[in-house]
Structure 1
């Protein structure tokens, strides 16, 4: 049950259109629903502003389907990460409106349209090989209600491509940089702007990249200030962090 549904429920009680007992019955599974193998967190939307996100890797198709079935009862928007195309075909049987983004490996089910923020997130990628992670970040943030722009394939091997797009950097409120190899993109971007930069190292690179470890260490050791670093290939985590920053900016704008 999302915030809007709970507000409607409480309004009905207030207006004597629904008994307290009936409202309690609808709220009985609000904290979480125990499925035996999983406890679906129905309370997360109230705490964090967005429902629980399903991480599909390591789960069976039947487990994901059961979790989604329960979440659909709450009429929430649903985001499932690291999902295969085969899993998506299974999900379509219970959620015909589900949309699959193959490159990002995301499944989205939109039950309620979320208005986009005025504040802007820019997702920047070093190369085309980083786009799977970059798209995971961009699409996740968009699902969270964030206005997203993309600036792809502007890595330091051809830095004129980045410098030729400084307007994009300057107009953004938060920037996510996604890069593999040596991971220098985050340092370059952070040295050019006065806003938070969230760095995502990817596992893209040759042998001594060590599956993204080289890029991770470069980003952690950056001499440019204002960089936060998430784990290797964690586009989702970067997007969620960026979203919390932007939503605080939106809150301050309304209160100001």
Structure 2
């Protein structure tokens, strides 16, 4: 397994920005790739702001902000990722998008490079089978906000070898994260348990059992959750929640995972949560 010095991050949205931030702050060179320069520019602005916030809170020496930024290279050309020893895909939670990226990365990155995905629900085994290096494909599921949350869910595909798992586990620890190993199954552990909770909370609102505020208060005050399930859904993105529920429904074949019709209607209306300014709450 080659020494990992340069990281390719594919996708400059919320998760990709957080992953690039984390690796750059930890001393790695980062190649941040997306399809439009405007997405990359917005991402770098977000990373700079968040690094500055960490410095202001004393969590990062102020003289490390600019060196961290300098370690990030923006690119819209995937071919420039050929110097990376490790890639993390953080694109939209759709198999067609991820499969195209994995086929492409497989031809571009060097033979020994590991291909990781930040997917929160899609099969690692299916993605790995699209490549000529299935033993070196693995799930590396970070949680939002990436620089803050300590968990990394590491998901073995059926083909993932021990050397790949060991390298990603060690890398997670080097990043200051706590790796938790799980096997490949729709939604893994985190979303297989979380999404039915969010879905059922949406059903209680749709059926008039309680308001969104009341549902969230029950979980905050009664179960000591830091935020209620519907506030969390807005934070994740209601479109992402629906996508994951559909993966669970299709992959496990159990009707209990069918997305709540209210969630689907809200997504159809463009009410995606915090990122669109409106979901169960207004922002």
TM-score (norm 1): 0.34
User: When you count helix as a share of all residues, which structure comes out higher?
Assistant: 2
Whichever of the two has the greater Rg, that structure is 1
